[in-house]
Amino acid sequence: MAFDAKLGRRGLLAGGGALGLTGVLAACGQGGDDSGSGDAAEARPWEFTDDQPATVKLDQTPAKIVAFTGMAAALYDFGIEVPAVFGPTTNEDGSPTTQAGNLPVADLEVFGNVYGEFDVEAYAAYGPEVLMTHFYYDPATLWYVPEESHDEITGLAEVTALNVDDGANTQDQIIARHAELAESLGADLDSESNTANKERYDAAVEALKAAVAANPVKVLACSAAAETFYASNPATGNDLRFFVELGVDIIVPDALDEATGNYYELLSWENADKYAADVLLLDNRVQALQPDALTEFPTWNALPAVQEGQIVGWEAEPMYAYGLAAASIEALATAIQNAKKLV
């Protein structure tokens, strides 16, 4: 059966489930006064060739950018302010979602906070200069742009889209593309904050490599929903592919769900213990159940990694800036370094 990115990702999100595709630590680095995105940058013509591929040319660097929340968070980490977003931005209590990174969410225009929600009328009235988002495999399927209003939305402003999964690209490569986009918008990649973030990221990568070499434990990337425990396929996530390259032993499920693109194996809660793991890399997004909500599931409580507290949060939609990604990699490295071998 041919892979259907639309079914595998959009179908699951639309159904409210958890997508099996790291980080519980707060990230360092954000938009600052050394970003290089001042008036001089805004006055010059802007041109960027994205991954569709399409080249956008504007008379000046855009100020009224509207971006998918995760992309806006990445740009902000590099020093570019994005004033308007769509996608998971705030939780019910108003706090930032994991995908919002360090964005000043209270100051943003938000045209849609959940999957399938996009206020086209407000977006048009805002007068966007460019819409920026991601895509998976198919550039015609823009992330968090509803299919039913796709043509109307994309007709209102130029579109710049980066490919965050082509089946082979890895998180480090995708971060580099976001850095190129940020630089085109005026970010100074050699600024103090960007240099510090890159150094932190490089150190985190080395720490993860050292941790897995010293303590080669088994890791299960997973996600939890009310009816289903998802065992994720490391081949289908750009971050997981990167972690495997670095030496992390991530379990490969043996009964992947072909109908939804082989992203994961769907397990009933009665079978949640099918794979023995020393560490659980658990989807920490708002649509996935978190440990405090899983205590009522007996099979969850019985998992050796749960009993030992060897759980680390996983941004199943990774962050694509060095400061933000460093925090996730540091968390995984620490979890592996400190883990007991249970299997």
Mean pLDDT of the region 67-82? 98
pTM for the full model? 0.87
Residues 132, 32: Cα–Cα separation, whole Å: 21
Which pLDDT belongs to residue 20? 37
Confidence at residue 86, expressed as pLDDT on a 0 to 100 scale: 98
Q: Which of 15-19, 28-32, 84-88 is modeled with the greatest confidence?
A: 84-88
What local confidence, expressed as pLDDT, does residue 44 receive?
86
Q: Is the pLDDT of residue 30 over 70?
A: no
For residue 197 the two structure tokens come to 């973030």
* pLDDT for 262: 94
Residue (of 59, 84, 76, 63) closest to 153 by Cα position:
84
What is the reported pLDDT for 218?
Answer: 98
E strand or H helix at 222, and its extent? strand 218-224
Longest CA pairwise span in the chain (Å): 60
Note the pLDDT tens digit of each residue in 190-236.
999 999 999 999 999 999 999 999 999 999 999 999 999 999 999 99
* Residue 340: how many other CB atoms lie within 10 Å: 13
pLDDT for res 22:
32
Signed CA dihedral, 332, 87, 187, 29: sign only: negative
Q: What gap in Å lies between CA 272 and CA 276, rounded to an integer? A: 10
Instruction: Quickly state the pLDDT bin for 2 (edges 50, 70, 90).
Output: very low
Q: Is the pLDDT of residue 107 over 50?
A: yes
pLDDT band of 286, cuts 50, 70, 90: confident
Residue 39 sits at φ, ψ, to 5 deg, of -60, -35
Q: Across the chain, what does the average pLDDT equal?
A: 90
Domains annotated on the chain, with CATH: 34-189 (3.40.50.1980), 197-338 (3.40.50.1980)
Look at residue 6 and tell me whether its pLDDT is greater than 90: no
Q: How many Cα atoms sit within 13 Å of 11 on the Cβ side?
A: 9
- How big is the CA angle at 172 (ends 280 and 25), to the nearest 5 degrees? 45
Q: Which residues, at least 6 apart from 214, have a Cβ–Cβ distance to it below 8 Å? A: 337
pLDDT at 11: 41
Residue 249's CB is within 10 A of a number of other CB atoms, namely: 17
